[in-house]
Structure 1
Amino acid sequence: MLEMYKKLVLENYANVNGRARRKEYWMFGLLNVLIYLLLNVLSFIPGVGIVFSIIAGIFILGVMIPSIAVAIRRMHDVGKSGWYLFIPIYSLILACTEGEHKTNEYGADPKNGFEEMSEIGKDLN
């Protein structure tokens, strides 16, 4: 899970192109929530709590852009524009919906790496 988080944060920091699977989207969100909760619990330690509160604030600011980027890629996976994030309930429904099983205008299906192989031997006309 930490490897996936590192990959998402470092390699796709602000990448809004392509598609993100449900697992990628939800695991990224879950790990962010767990880290934030840990920092908040540590902020109640007398004497050093303020340091952890500041770190929690910096963490939230640091993951804001990657969170938006992965959410946009998640909308792309279901065939919708990233602007659908501004529709609260509908964007949650889309985030829970399984992605399209074919290449769409945003890229190839991230679950199916062999989609190109199915095109071999087909008539191009």
Structure 2
Amino acid sequence: MTAYLDAMRRYFDFSGRATRTQFWLFSLTVLVLGIAAIVLDTAVLGASKPSLFTWLVYFPHLIPSIAVTIRRLHDSDKSGWWILLGLVPLVGVVALIVFGCLPSSSGRNRFGAADEQHAAASAAVAATAQTAPQGASIVDQMEKLTALRASGAIDDAEFQRMKANLLH
């Protein structure tokens, strides 16, 4: 649900990156909502083709779907213009599904850090570690850094850099 809400919050954000998880969970949520809308159209309105409920689901998700797809393309270091491939019948949709399955490019690419939220969290952790209270021992600070690395909040390279700062 977090991936869906993140994509909706970033409604018109076509820059940056989206992980495979963010992209696919958002897509799955929209698919489930679409199926529910079709069922409601059939049950309530007796419509044999997409009608009121389907359009009420489709229109609000059109722009976020394009935006999250472009961010997903960025994550695998592809230009967002590749989304136009989706206009080619059948082949385009298959190509976009394949692009959605590609692994993320590691580290920073031309579209930004691997995970903007991760980068922001790392910066906050670094600021906290550098301004630790005088009473906090190096052992306590090392335990906190180790816990952050174990939880995935920081990666090994960030851990090593912060550990070096702490010990000097």
> Greater relative contact order (Cα 8 A, min sep 6): structure 1 or 2?
1
Match of 2:61 among 39, 60, 63: 63
Percent identity between matched residues is 28
**Runs of 5+ in structure 2 lacking a partner?**
86-91, 120-153
SS at match of 1:18: coil
How many residue pairs get matched?
117
**Runs of 5+ in structure 1 lacking a partner?**
none
- 1:18-68 residue CA offsets vs partner (Å, 9 max, x unmatched): 00000111111111010110111121225x446x93122122011000000
- Give the CA RMSD over aligned residues: 2.5
Shift of 1:92: 2.4
- 1:83-107 residue CA offsets vs partner (Å, 9 max, x unmatched): 1112214332221101101100101
Q: Specify the structure having the higher radius of gyration (Cα).
A: 2
Residue 21 (structure 1) aligns with: 19
8 Å contact kept, 2:73–2:100: yes
- Runs of 4 or more consecutive aligned structure 1 residues displaced over 6 Å after TM superposition: none
Q: Look up the equivalent residue of 1:117 and give its one-letter code.
A: E
Match of 2:30 among 29, 32, 39: 32
TM-score by length of 1: 0.79
Verify: 1:99 aligned to 2:83, yes or no.
Answer: no
- C-alpha distance in 1, partners of 2:12/2:7? 10
